[in-house]
Structure 1
Amino acid sequence: MIVNRFPFLRPAGHWLLLCAGSGALAVLLQALHLPAAVLLACMVCAVLLAVRGAQLALPAWGFNAGQALLGCLMAQSLQPRQLAAVWAHAPLFLGATLLLIGASTLLGWWLMRRQVMPGSTALWGMTPGASAAMVVLAGQYGADMRLVAFMQYTRLLLITLVAALVSRAVLGEAPTAAPAAIAWWGQPSAAGLGWTAALVLLGTLLAPRLRLAGGAMVLPLLGAVLLQNLWGQAPALPPALMLLSYASLGWSVGLRFTRAILRHALRTLPQVLLCTLLLMLVGLATGAVLHWATGLDALSAFLATCPGGADSMAVIVAGSAVDTGFVMAMQLARFLLVLLIGPALTQRVARACGL
């Protein structure tokens, strides 16, 4: 039984403490240039409050709205230019991506057989790329989304750190520029905001009725892709709105933690790190083959096959002397394939193991 360590605070005070702590930690993580800083900060603060006994829960509609906005954001990466680059190198992309997915599935199966994680959690936790999407889908398919989030973001931090260090070692430190002021709301068009509202309502209201796993994220993603590729329209996603999306996802996952779950996550850290390093070695070997077969420079090949997220890779390659288009096309190809076959593959392996 968890004892409330904040008996002097009412629920409103808990929420205020959560918001203040999340904001302060997000600023710190942003200053350290860590990926997914806002989401990580909100998740960490929510975990700390939850294990200290704060009785908070995010409404289901808030979590669904956050998923819908995430789906709209993912759709922005699926522009015709990127899709054309993927199609032009389809066999190469498909082979490298399937190899990485196969390796991650094998490592997840090993963790599952050793009962490091309960049920199919290890399979979802090892799935490469699209970390937030995998956390959401894992919860929909019955895995423990708390432990999936722990595995996904531990891997994301480690891989992003290594990729950034390798990039800096090869290319040298990029010249620093004065940080530009963030236009939190920008100047979105009324039509763009209207499309955003419509897609969020689609994910928030329709998906639960359809009982579609991950529907709150997948339906807006598909809707946004159709809008931008067929009709030239796009939902408006100002930074302030996405900040709310990241906060809702981080808080929803973090507030579900208990002391027992947190202790279990920390006990499994060595195995999670080992599997992450092995997956990185598979990515490195794939990058070496890519470099040899295509003549692509070694750093671009390494970043293209690195099993991190497309968003974090975009930050690393920005302003670097690498083939940015190829790297992002490769990352997005894996993201698409993971989104398409990841859930079915994970369920099939779990059933084969009697889960």
Structure 2
Amino acid sequence: MTKTLTIDNGEIFALCSLFLLALIFSFIFDYLHFPVAWFLVPLLVAIIFSIVKGKIESFPHSVGVVGQGMIAVVTASHFSLDSLINAQNYLFPLLGAIFITGIFSLLNGFLLCKIAKIDPCSSFLGSIPGAGSSLVAMSEEMGADAIAVTVLQYVRILLVSLIVPNIVAFYFSTPILATPIVESCNPELCFTPTNNLLITADLPTSLLTAILKTLLIIGTVTIAIQVGKLIKLPSNLFLAPFFSCLLLFWFIPTTIPPTIFSIGLFFLGLSTGVKFDLKIINKLLKAVLVETVLVILLIIICFLIGYEFHQITGLDLMSCLLGTTPGGLNTMTATALELGGDSGMVLTMQMIRMFFILTLSPFFAGTILQMDYPHHEGN
């Protein structure tokens, strides 16, 4: 049975006000180089709006769906076969580093669940290092608390982006005085495949190509979502566009304008923020404190993993440390560039970890939900 919403003039005015306020403040904070402005600002505006105005029942569900799809497409465009080929010489040590990091992340999720009393699925998705925006995008569909996952992920991202570059810079005697570029907040710093066919808004001569390729992407995503429904793909609204566009971009290399990613983050931030409930504040305050301690411990562990990776592979220490951090892909790449490290290797290591995270996280989350469901049934 489909629920029909009656939207009066007051609701329309509230929705328009929300979008306008979020847009204005996003532009302002983006101009001020606020980390992840196009996600965090609309998220905060929507949260404040929900507290003052009350939950907006008429907020379009399609906004969040479109946001997920945009983020999935842009995420897919950051991967390249070249990245995987370049990593073959140190693939097994890298997989070992990813596995060990994953084990400690699962332990963090378990501790969050037990100490902060957050449901297992949200604790798991909130503790996975890397692909923060993508995990938030898929969290609601996986049955997790999107607000909790958002808070946990961005506490991790901000801590990693603030702590790691400055520790590495201090160790290598080069100060870094810059606003941290938080994971996935600036797609231009991510991998951009070399290609002759680009989607760009700057070149009028490529308008026809841009239109055709945009239609191709939309068609591919639409078909993939339908196929995902048939095969019951976990987190279908995110993974179906991600995998389909990953294949598409390998055959037809494409650069997605940063604006698309910003719009996706904007939509996702709004759709997540309007779900905010004051009752979760006490729970999340405790979770943030626990997460802060756990992330700092995870950073220390990842430094040890990076050092061992350096010993095994013989690659330079700075790049190994930056490549094995728990997230902060763009920050680590920019830091490597500034300090003279191997930014290509750092980016490859971070992207391979992100690939495994995006591929395996929904299946792990689904397993956790199946294990947790009988427990709730028994209660």
**TM-score of the aligned structures, taking structure 2 as reference length:** 0.80
Query: 1:27: Cα distance to partner?
Result: 3.8
Moved more, 18-27 or 88-97: 18-27
Could you say which residue in structure 1 is the equivalent of 2:202?
186
Alignment-mate amino acid for residue 273 of structure 1: T
Moved more, 317-326 or 167-176: 167-176
Query: 1:34: Cα distance to partner?
Result: 4.3
Tell me the matched-pair count.
340
Q: Find the aligned partners of 2:224 and 2:67 in 1 and give their Cα distance.
A: 9
Q: Find the aligned partners of 1:207 and 1:63 in 2 and give their Cα distance.
A: 18
Residue 217 (str. 1) matches residue 218 (str. 2): no
Query: 1:28: Cα distance to partner?
Result: 4.8
Q: Find the aligned partners of 1:280 and 1:45 in 2 and give their Cα distance.
A: 31
Residue 275 (str. 1) matches residue 294 (str. 2): yes
Residue 172 (str. 1) matches residue 175 (str. 2): yes
Alignment-mate amino acid for residue 234 of structure 2: A
Could you say which residue in structure 1 is the equivalent of 2:252?
232
Q: Find the aligned partners of 2:70 and 2:240 in 1 and give their Cα distance.
A: 11
Residue 36 (str. 1) matches residue 36 (str. 2): yes
Alignment-mate amino acid for residue 269 of structure 2: G
Could you say which residue in structure 2 is the equivalent of 1:179?
none
Check 1:16–1:313 CA distance in 2 against 1; reply closer, same or farther (3 A cut). Answer: farther
Query: 1:185: Cα distance to partner?
Result: 3.4
Residue 253 (str. 1) matches residue 272 (str. 2): yes
Check 1:167–1:30 CA distance in 2 against 1; reply closer, same or farther (3 A cut). Answer: farther
The answer as to whether partners of 1:184 and 1:239 remain within 8 angstroms in 2 is: no
Q: In structure 2, list runs of 5 or more residues that go unmatched.
A: 1-8, 180-187, 189-198
Identity between Structure 1 and Structure 2 (%)? 21
1:242 to 261, 264, 274: 261
Q: Find the aligned partners of 1:26 and 1:168 in 2 and give their Cα distance.
A: 30
Check 1:312–1:73 CA distance in 2 against 1; reply closer, same or farther (3 A cut). Answer: farther
Query: 1:59: Cα distance to partner?
Result: 2.1
Residue 118 (str. 1) matches residue 114 (str. 2): no
Q: Find the aligned partners of 2:332 and 2:26 in 1 and give their Cα distance.
A: 20
Q: Find the aligned partners of 2:223 and 2:34 in 1 and give their Cα distance.
A: 32
Query: 1:174: Cα distance to partner?
Result: 7.7
Check 1:233–1:252 CA distance in 2 against 1; reply closer, same or farther (3 A cut). Answer: same
Could you say which residue in structure 1 is the equivalent of 2:185?
none
Could you say which residue in structure 2 is the equivalent of 1:4?
none
SS at match of 1:146: helix
**TM-score of the aligned structures, taking structure 1 as reference length:** 0.85
The answer as to whether partners of 1:69 and 1:200 remain within 8 angstroms in 2 is: no
Residue 53 (str. 1) matches residue 53 (str. 2): yes
Alignment-mate amino acid for residue 69 of structure 1: M
Check 1:199–1:248 CA distance in 2 against 1; reply closer, same or farther (3 A cut). Answer: farther
Query: 1:203: Cα distance to partner?
Result: 6.1
Could you say which residue in structure 1 is the equivalent of 2:18?
18
The answer as to whether partners of 2:102 and 2:128 remain within 8 angstroms in 1 is: yes
Could you say which residue in structure 2 is the equivalent of 1:310?
329
Q: Find the aligned partners of 1:198 and 1:316 in 2 and give their Cα distance.
A: 38
Q: Let me know the Cα RMSD of the aligned residues.
A: 2.9
Query: 1:107: Cα distance to partner?
Result: 1.2
Q: Output one character per residue of 1:97-153: Cα deviation in whole Å (capped at 9) or x when no partner.
A: 001011000111122123531342111110111112212332222121110111001
Query: 1:68: Cα distance to partner?
Result: 1.4
Q: In structure 1, list runs of 5 or more residues that go unmatched.
A: 1-8, 177-181
The answer as to whether partners of 1:65 and 1:203 remain within 8 angstroms in 2 is: no
The answer as to whether partners of 1:67 and 1:216 remain within 8 angstroms in 2 is: yes
Q: Find the aligned partners of 2:81 and 2:36 in 1 and give their Cα distance.
A: 26
Could you say which residue in structure 2 is the equivalent of 1:80?
81
Check 1:349–1:106 CA distance in 2 against 1; reply closer, same or farther (3 A cut). Answer: farther
Q: Find the aligned partners of 1:68 and 1:17 in 2 and give their Cα distance.
A: 25
The answer as to whether partners of 1:64 and 1:204 remain within 8 angstroms in 2 is: no
Q: Find the aligned partners of 1:68 and 1:323 in 2 and give their Cα distance.
A: 32
Query: 1:319: Cα distance to partner?
Result: 4.4
